[in-house]
Amino acid sequence: MVGPGAAPLENANPLVYRRSGERPVTAREEDDELPDSIDDREIFDLIRSINDPEHPLTLEELNVVEQVRVKVNDAESTVVVEFTPTIPHCSMATLIGLSIKVKLIRSLPERFKMDVHITPGTHASEHAVNKQLADKERVAAALENSHLLEVVNQCLSARS
Amino acid sequence: MKEALVLQSRVAAHPEARCWFLAWSPNGNLIASCGGDRAVRVWGRDGTEGGQLEACRAVLSDGHQRTVRRVAWSPCGSYLASASFDATTCIWKRCQDGFECVTTLEGHENEVKSVAWAPSGSLLATCSRDKSVWVWEVDEEEEYECVSVLNSHTQDVKHVVWHPNQELLASASYDDTVKLYHEEEDDWVCCATLEGHESTVWSIAFDGSGQRLASCSDDKTVRIWQCYKPGNEEGVTCSGNDPTWKCVCNLSGYHSRTIYDVSWCRLTGALATACGDDAIRVFEESTSSSSPQQQPTFSLTAHVARAHTQDVNCVAWNPKEPGLLASCSDDGEMAFWKYQQPELC
């Protein structure tokens, strides 16, 4: 897990995708009397504006995250997010996955089990990255590392 | 079946953080907890007969700069060791009004994940994310000296435990294996590698006899390994004088997420697991098995689905009181359970 350095960009000219529109709020959601469960779109809204570590673009604009790759089951308190690195040798894959994970940990109720992994077949070190992201002990240790936490927070901070 | 494990009490052991691990003192009267708040707490009964272990006796908060991952009592009960993400292990000595840090063991390159005392009390093992296992010797002046650095694992080492009565050490790793070590001609060597798990091995536990070892993993299985000495009747091949450890049972299909800990009760033989699906499960060996040595069968005798509100990180059987189980969780709580052994068919 390393932050972006002064090295040349790995993927200098990424494809940029159109952002999705604002989510329309339904009448049911505005009714405080009705239980309001967390859905895929809500999770997607939490992660789509995360910044890419090396481009001035969001994960949504780079198609790293897509709503169809978010699966939430509110009743069972599970969230599964698949993300797609822009290139198969992307060295930022773990950092991107960690940023998604941290955003979800900070935003969702503690009952949720979050699984963040690479879209199958889209990264050369898919298994190793997935294993590291799934290891909560290593994630906990990484988040006690102030340098790494600063890099993650930069990815998570909203651009002005 | 659910009534086999009955909740006795819950304690907010580390309310601001994750509670990572629990360790009973050898006499079973105290329990130490540790967690993400960098503290170790020692809990004891409130004085009344059969009282709950809810009284906090000591807070050890000035030893570590980062998470305390595991704690271990010395066999005499006078010392407590704490392993921390700050790359050190502290040794605490019981004194009149609590605990005093007497030594800090340094040397690991990064997070120390586990610490364990040998049954003699004169050796200590630590392991780390730096992939190594260190064996430390304690002399009569309470000086600690590293006597061996074992680099057999290829990844982060998660857990170390000692055999119940021999100087045989076991370690579990992110490289999916369990390794065993013993002393040979004044040096510590790896004498066995147990392969079979398909992901990180989080924890290991010997049974009371030391002839078997249980391991639990991110692959959602618990495996039971049996020791076969050279010349064994079963005809299991051994290389040289080293025994062979063979997987004789694979408990698969019971856990829905990572299994973080396993505890094998030395008094009753019951095997408890701590799982990332918030549940605690207990297994017992079925006595009806036709060849129990070669192919033991274990059955699920208790399952509490929502034992905690988040991942269960640790389960620990009390060493003196049969059936008293402690557990702790990411929710910061510690819970005590009474296990009633059901009649096995």
Instruction: Tell me, yes or no, if B177 comes closer than 8 A to chain A by beta carbon.
Output: no
CB contact (8 A) between residue B174 and residue A140: no
Instruction: Determine the pLDDT at residue B77.
Output: 96
Which single residue is written with the structure tokens 């100087």? B167
Instruction: Determine the pLDDT at residue B53.
Output: 73
Instruction: Tell me, yes or no, if A6 comes closer than 8 A to chain B by beta carbon.
Output: no
Selection from B11, B19, B84, B67 nearest residue B330 by Cα: B19
Per the CB < 8 A criterion, the answer to whether B106 and B58 are in contact is no
Instruction: Determine the pLDDT at residue B45.
Output: 81
Instruction: Determine the pLDDT at residue A70.
Output: 96
Which single residue is written with the structure tokens 């040289």? B240
CB contact (8 A) between residue B309 and residue A110: yes
Q: Would the pLDDT of A12 be above 60?
A: yes
Paired with B299 in beta bridges are B284
Instruction: Tell me, yes or no, if A33 comes closer than 8 A to chain B by beta carbon.
Output: no
CB contact (8 A) between residue A138 and residue B156: yes
Question: Angle at CA B38, nearest 5°, toward B33 and B42?
Answer: 30
Q: What secondary structure letter does DSSP report for A20?
A: P
d(CA B28, CA B298): 27
Instruction: Determine the pLDDT at residue A4.
Output: 47
Q: Which residues of A fall within a CB distance of 8 Å from B257? A: 113
CB contact (8 A) between residue A141 and residue B85: yes
CA B308 to chain centre: 19
Tokens read off for B3? 């009534």
Instruction: Tell me, yes or no, if B310 comes closer than 8 A to chain A by beta carbon.
Output: yes
Tokens read off for A109? 């109720």
d(CA B66, CA B316): 24
d(CA A116, CA A17): 22
| Min Cα–Cα distance to chain A from B242, Å | 33
* Facing residue for B257 by CB, picked from A111, A113, A140: A113
Q: Which residues of A fall within a CB distance of 8 Å from B67? A: 140-141, 144
d(CA A81, CA B129): 27
Number of helices (H), then strands (E), belonging to chain B: the values are 0, 28
Instruction: Determine the pLDDT at residue B254.
Output: 98
Per the CB < 8 A criterion, the answer to whether B234 and B293 are in contact is yes
Instruction: Determine the pLDDT at residue A14.
Output: 82
Burial of A122 (0-12, 13-18, 19+ CB in 10 A): middle
d(CA A112, CA B155): 29
**What residue ranges of chain B have pLDDT lower than 50?**
1-2, 345
* Facing residue for B66 by CB, picked from A113, A131, A144: A144
Which single residue is written with the structure tokens 């040794």? B91
User: Confidence class of residue A32 from pLDDT cuts 50, 70 and 90?
Assistant: confident
Instruction: Tell me, yes or no, if B226 comes closer than 8 A to chain A by beta carbon.
Output: no
Instruction: Determine the pLDDT at residue B292.
Output: 62
CA B146 to chain centre: 22
Instruction: Determine the pLDDT at residue B252.
Output: 97
- pLDDT tens figures, A47-93: 999 999 989 999 999 999 999 999 999 999 999 999 999 999 999 99
| Min Cα–Cα distance to chain B from A21, Å | 35
Choice among A23-27, A41-45, B301-305 with the minimum mean pLDDT: A23-27
For chain B, give the longest Cα–Cα distance: 56
Selection from B75, B80, B69 nearest residue B102 by Cα: B80
Selection from A47, A51, A55 nearest residue A72 by Cα: A47
* Facing residue for B309 by CB, picked from A111, A134, A140: A111
Taking CB atoms and an 8 Å cut-off, how many pairs form between chains A and B?
A: 38
Q: What secondary structure letter does DSSP report for A58?
A: B
Paired with B44 in beta bridges are B30, B55
ipTM of the complex: 0.94
Per the CB < 8 A criterion, the answer to whether B337 and B330 are in contact is no
Instruction: Tell me, yes or no, if A134 comes closer than 8 A to chain B by beta carbon.
Output: yes
Instruction: Determine the pLDDT at residue B97.
Output: 85
Q: Tell me what the pLDDT averaged over chain A comes to.
A: 89
Instruction: Determine the pLDDT at residue A2.
Output: 44
Q: Would the pLDDT of A1 be above 50?
A: no
Tokens read off for A148? 């790494």
Selection from B318, B337, B340 nearest residue B329 by Cα: B337
Task: Give whole-number Cα distances, A25 to A29, A41, B108, in Å.
Answer: 7, 11, 53
